[in-house]
Amino acid sequence: MPKLCNYTNCKYNQFGGGYCRNHQWNRTDKKNKPLKRTAIRKISSKKQKTLGEERKQLHKDWLFFLEIWEEREHICKNCGYFLGNEPLTLFFDHLLEKSKYPDLRYEKENIMLLCWQCHSAKTNGFISDIIKQFIMKICDKFDKVRNFL
């Protein structure tokens, strides 16, 4: 049985030095001195702007995913597994990847609800026949070349 974190009332398993990942800052080295937290580097203003843009993009994506979550049943379209009542970003899969087809990023027909296992399999290139059928429909609808098969 794994050991629990030494931090007060923490119920997570130990990661190293007697503490979980969340409480590593409380860990001491061999001389019983607290470990120093790594210095936070100042981010250049150019990088701050890109981080702000990324946050806005992620927020826009999340609102889009929530809209889909409210409209559809919470089951995996590939295997029928119930996804629960809490939406997680890993449940939303772009059939035609947003990196290759950025114009289809916010098309609801391009999003499929998949469980973690089916999403991972598709991302790693193991595309089931059910998903292939959905992808072919999307390719036909948006006049995209079927170069995935």
How many domains are contained in the chain? 1
- Which residue segment(s) compose the domain that 120 sits in? 45-141
Mean pLDDT by 10 residues, the chain (149 residues): 81 80 69 52 59 83 92 94 91 91 91 94 91 90 70
User: Is the whole-model pTM more than 0.75?
Assistant: no
Is residue 147 one of the residues assigned to a domain? no
Listed residue (45, 49, 69, 67) closest to 57, CA to CA: 49
Is residue 40 one of the residues assigned to a domain? no
Q: What is the model's pLDDT at position 34?
A: 54
Is residue 79 one of the residues assigned to a domain? yes
Is residue 81 one of the residues assigned to a domain? yes
